[in-house]
Structure 1
Amino acid sequence: MTTTSTLLMGAGMGLGLIAAVGAQNAYILQRSIRGDVAMVPIVMFCILSEAILILLGVAGVGVLVESAPAAITVMTWFGVVFLLAYGAVAATRAIRPGGGLAVDDDARIPSTLGAVAACAAFTWLNPHAYLDSVVFLGTLANQQAGDLRWVFAAGAFLAGTAWFMLIGFGGRALRGVFARPGAWRVLDAGIAVMMVALAVGLIRG
């Protein structure tokens, strides 16, 4: 397999995994639409986290993760609790009458540290991040001959970087739509349902 085809295969697999609807993507898009001033550190944190996870997978840590089912179980339940808690907050915003949901509502924009901390929880308390980026991508990368495994990893990383930049900075184009509080209530309701569904999915395995 050539370097180019390996790079493209890595990009395709990486994009297919990272672009799936999930808690992390929903959070980034929500913050982007709100015009969060912390978008740059949020996006950079996601890119760095993805790079670390992919590197761990290529380095063979995926094998260790697969051999530690107890750790995956503990991580899964932490993820379930976090998803349900965030879903409850989103549901509260969706059903609460009155204003406070407008795009320019600065009172609802968290500090940079708080925003990045929430993003860290969505990233590192998500067992699917380890299974997808570490185990799955790591396994596929190590199936490539020689140094082509790093080419595959580079393709996956570049795809993830492009995706995070797209939803992190492109979400602002939707601010006009979400200038109406009703639109935010619909979005928050959708996020609440998604978080609960993801939590149930984790429980069911």
Structure 2
Amino acid sequence: MQAAFIQGMGIGGSLIIAVGAQNAFVLKQGIKRSYTLPIALLCSMIDALMITAGVAGLGHIIESFPTIKHVASFGGAAFLLWYGTNALKASFVAKGIEMEQADSADTFKKAVLTTLGISLLNPHLYLDTVVLLGSISTQFDDLHRPWFGAGAVLASFIWFFGLSFGARLLAPIFTRPAAWRYLDRFIWLTMWSIAAAIIWPYVAG
């Protein structure tokens, strides 16, 4: 049981830590100290749900119906392009973290909806948690497989809460407009790069 749990933490953590759309969003909200707890909790809960579904065998169903993957890919790419464009536009507006914190448009509803979009419309979420982790979990028997999933879920909670609340340590740097401008452009590049990676197989093929 212990070995399966540790493997779940290691593999799950290695997949989550990679720079992606979700992590970039959580980082920015954490720096702004904007709804850090609900965003971290929501991201962790989504991961936990997907990991559990993958370990339970949902990954095999998704692989059997490619249409699900195609719809998620195009929808996710469109959302990432839209979000990245907004980040690029924001990078040309001089601002510091004080102005960001005072932004009345940054409502709880907007934060929750954006978190849901960044997470659920990204096909990598399903490929990494449901398909990949689900496939890896099949090497364990029925007794140890849940422990593998539990390890991956714990890694997700540790990562998102650490990233969300740890990001505030960077807040003093982001009192300077230039630092915020570079972060917005980093987010823009991240979002568009992921969108391009999603669309490329369809264009090249």
TM interval, shorter chain, is: over 0.9
Return the match for 1:91 from 88, 93, 96: 88
Q: In the aligned structure 2, how far is the partner of 1:54 from the partner of 1:23?
A: 18
Return the match for 1:117 from 92, 98, 113: 113
How far 1:142 sits from its partner (Å)?
Answer: 2.2
Q: In the aligned structure 2, how far is the partner of 1:165 from the partner of 1:150?
A: 23
Q: 1:15 maps to what in 2?
A: 13
Return the match for 2:62 from 59, 62, 65: 65
Q: 1:103 maps to what in 2?
A: 97
Contact 1:15-1:160 at 8 Å conserved across structures: yes
* CA deviation profile, 1:50-90 (whole Å, cap 9, x unmatched): 11101110111100011111111111011111111111111
**Residue-pair matches, total:** 199
* CA deviation profile, 1:91-126 (whole Å, cap 9, x unmatched): 101123x3xx21122116611111011010011001
Report matched runs for 1:12-51 at 5 Å: 12-36=10-34, 38-51=35-48
Which contiguous aligned blocks of 4+ residues in structure 1 show a shift greater than 3 angstroms? Answer: none
Q: In the aligned structure 2, how far is the partner of 1:161 from the partner of 1:109?
A: 28
Assess, with a 3 A threshold, how the Cα gap between structure 1 residues 108 and 203 changes in structure 2: closer, same or farther: farther
2:33 is matched by which residue type in structure 1? G
TM score, norm. by length of structure 2 = 0.94
How far 1:40 sits from its partner (Å)?
Answer: 0.9
1:11 is matched by which residue type in structure 2? M
CA RMSD of the aligned region, Å? 1.1
How far 1:146 sits from its partner (Å)?
Answer: 2.1
2:97 is matched by which residue type in structure 1? V
Structure 2 unaligned segments of length 5 or more: list them: none
Q: In the aligned structure 1, how far is the partner of 2:137 from the partner of 2:10?
A: 13
1:19 is matched by which residue type in structure 2? I
TM score, norm. by length of structure 1 = 0.94
Q: 1:76 maps to what in 2?
A: 73
